[in-house]
Structure 1
Amino acid sequence: MDVLSDVLTVLRTGRPFAARLPRTAPWSDHHRDHPEGFGVQIMVRGSAILTTSEGEILHVGQGDAVLVPHGSPHRFADALDTPAGRPCSQSEERSGAVLRAPDDEATHIVVCGAYELAPGRMHPLIASMPDFFHLPADPAARPELTNAIAMLDGELRAERSGGDTLVPALFDAVLMYLLRAMLEGNARHCAIAGWATALADEPIRRALEAIHAAPERQWTVASLGDVAGLSRSAFSRRFTELVGQPPLGYLTFWRLTLAARLLTDTDAPLAAVSRQVGYASEFAFAAAFKRDFGQAPGRFRKQHPACEPAVAAPLRPMVSGAA
């Protein structure tokens, strides 16, 4: 089981927002705080300046990408001294929207997108990411990413049949290539060293894959250690150091995360949900779920509507955010 794909599939909700935004200098876009949004911005034409709310400045060149895993507020502009523009509309960034606009005269073009993450359930992999991660363009080192960005840009540029199906799939591909580049190429980055190293560490990766492939199995530290090929004590110590949680603590976290998604996405009885995530009785499952989520699973289901994919918005021009 691919842990990275599994984590994002379970935690995100609906379809991604995606847009191709032509901008003519001087321009400035202000992105508000969106704690449950995972954003991506890619410069496909021109260069820009990203300024965080703490005053950190990133110089984003043509072809560069910036991940914003926690929806942190920031300003994106053609130059540092360009006056601040209007805040981006939340209605324009709703899940499932696909926005296009003519770009014949644009000096800059930004391809951007965002996922809504499941509320109140931050996976430690995502929690460990920095607020902003800047990945410079490198077509020679990452040709697959370059090609995926070009394909996404092409689908967002042209109004062709099937585009609203292709755009989310291509955005998924771009995001995965970006995350792979971040995790594989930056294992020593202080903010993501644990999970980057964990996924690169073969014994711990095997244990994580086993948990994700069969969360219902009655795993023990010893049996997971056998999968990893390590002694019980060595495995427990190494897993905890790299993942940030003891093995059985992470197992419980992931079981209950899956349970929350099953409760919102399906009408399966609680007994069936409890068995699917590895609890021998509905009572044991309900007690564990209430400890973690602060409410019984039945009440949680009533208060959280199903995470159905959003219906894509009609194609329409995007109003410029020029200052």
Structure 2
Amino acid sequence: MDSLSSILKSVRLQGSVYFNACFASPWGLDLDQNQRAYFHLIIRGACYLQLGDKKEQLQGGDIIILPHGTAHQLFDDPSSVRVNATGVVPGLIDGINPFEGVGHSQDIDILCGYFNFNNSTPSYFLNALPDVIHLTQEHRTHFSFLDNALSFITQETKMKNLGREILIDRVTELLFVQIMRVYININGNEENIFSALSDRTLSEALQLMHTESDKNWTVESLAKAIGMSRSRFSEHFHNYIGETPMRYLHTCRMEVAKQKIEETESTLNIISEEVGYASDSAFKKAFKKFFGNTPSTFRQKNDK
């Protein structure tokens, strides 16, 4: 498994589409801060995105992703009234469109959806993403795999075929992976976690931490596994990831442990071994310090 696949598997990505609708001017949506990531695809037409005091125009073919669910507004014109989305989206999902035929000046076809992540443990990858990612028709043209995913999801939301819902969910999750591939490709020139995924040595180290977190890794053994000196690896890793290798590995182990507690009936002493702890007591202490609850308490809460 490559490093990006390992990271995205650990965040346990889910996604789906809220609606695919045509709005007639005037229209405006006010979207609150959300635990889910938003995405908006402008299929046809143009509109504005406002994020705080920053405003930018969106054109047909553009896709906007707000990885942290940041509050924002979408509207056809700065003078248009913006309606809170919580009172509009449920109707749109059911086919009730308050902006259908309201005016006559401009129509826009827009598809809105979400990505959901497991946010119980820190994700250095997700945390490093900006408040907004704006990919244009030019990006879609250059990266055909992204255009294919966007075209497919646009068409599927218009159909009433059997299995439509599950297919839309899966293609939406695929869409996030495709977006991340493009974002990494166009933002890989600086020292950050995105360029680390394209760096042979760091990518290999990240892959080992995510897929073999049970091993008794040290900075020295990780460095040796990827063919670097201990000091060079530590410096290189910290410069790109913004964290020490051992702290990053600790986060990986805690995420794996949490997932095993949630999804399996394995005993805690077995789980402690599976995430690289030599003793049950050391694992319980580390888990409680990380999550604020003991593994037993966490399992009891999860079973309710």
* TM-score normalised by length of structure 1: 0.84
For residue 224 of structure 2, what is the aligned residue in structure 1? Answer: 226
Asked if 1:167 corresponds to 2:165, the answer is no
SS of equivalent to 2:192: helix
> Paired residue for 1:285?
283
- Residue 61 of structure 1 and its aligned partner are, at CA, apart by 1.2
Which whole-Å CA distance do the structure 2 matches of 1:164 and 1:57 have between them?
A: 33
SS in 2 for 1:200: coil
| Pairs within 5 Å for 1:297-316 | 297-304=295-302
C-alpha distance in structure 2 between counterparts of 1:111 and 1:60, whole Å: 13
Q: 1:244 to 1:179 in 2, by over 3 A?
A: same
Partner secondary structure for residue 271 of structure 1: helix
Letter in 1 for 2:185: E
How far did residue 194 of structure 1 move? 0.9
CA distance in 2, matches of 1:264, 1:183: 31
**Aligned mates of 1:61, 1:89 — CA distance in 2:** 26
CA distance 1:279–1:212, shift in 2 (3 Å): same
How far apart, CA to CA, are the structure 2 residues paired with 1:14 and 1:151?
A: 18
- The structure with the largest helix share of the pair is 2
Aligned-partner Cα distance in 2 for 1:4–1:305: 31
Separation (CA, whole Å) in 2 of partners of 1:51 and 1:15: 23
Is the Cα contact below 8 Å between 1:40 and 1:68 reproduced in 2? yes
| Pair 1:46-2:56 in alignment | no
Note closer, same or farther for the CA distance 1:22–1:205 as it changes in structure 2 (3 Å cut).
Answer: same
Tell whether 2:19 aligns with 1:19.
yes
Q: Return the offset for 1:188.
A: 4.3
- After superposition, the Cα gap between the structure-2 partners of 1:90 and 1:125, relative to the gap in structure 1 and judged at 3 Å, is farther
Q: What is the Cα-based RMSD across aligned positions, in Å? A: 2.5
CA shift at 1:18, angstroms? 4.1
Judging changes above 3 Å, is the alpha-carbon distance between structure 1 residues 203 and 13 closer, same or farther for their aligned structure 2 residues?
closer
CA positional deviation for 1:195? 0.9
Q: CA deviation at 1:247?
A: 0.9
Which residue number corresponds to residue 197 of structure 1?
195
Distance 1:120 1:89 in 2: 28
Q: Deviations over 1:140-160 (max 9, x none)?
A: 311111111110111111110
Q: SS of 1:151's equivalent?
A: helix
Residue 267 of structure 2 corresponds to which residue in structure 1? 269
- Aligned pairs for 1:1-323 within 5 A: 1-12=1-12, 16-34=16-34, 36-52=35-51, 54-89=52-87, 92=90, 99=93, 101=95, 107-138=107-138, 139-188=140-189, 193-304=191-302
Secondary structure in 2 matching 1:134:
strand
In terms of mean alpha carbon deviation, does 140-149 or 8-17 score higher? Answer: 8-17
Percent of residue pairs identical: 25
Conserved 8 A contact 1:18-1:167: no
* Partner SS for 1:140: helix
State the shift of 1:280 in Å: 2.0
CA 14–92 in structure 1, closer or farther in 2 if over 3 Å, else same: farther
Higher normalized contact order (CA 8 Å, seq sep 6+, divided by chain length): 1
Q: Distance in 2 between matches of 1:296 and 1:92?
A: 39
In the TM superposition, residue 304 of structure 1 has moved relative to its aligned partner by: 3.8
CA contact (8 A) 2:213 2:275 kept: yes
Counterpart contact for 1:29–1:88, Cα < 8 Å: no
Count of equivalent residues: 297
Q: Return the alpha-carbon distance in structure 1 between the equivalents of residues 88 and 240 of structure 2.
A: 37
Q: Which moved more, 1:246-255 or 1:218-227?
A: 218-227
**Which has the higher Rg, Structure 1 or Structure 2?**
2
CA distance in 1, matches of 2:88, 2:280: 40
Post-superposition Cα deviations, 1:61-108, rounded to whole Å, max 9, x if no partner, equal 111111111111000112222111123359849xxxx94749997921
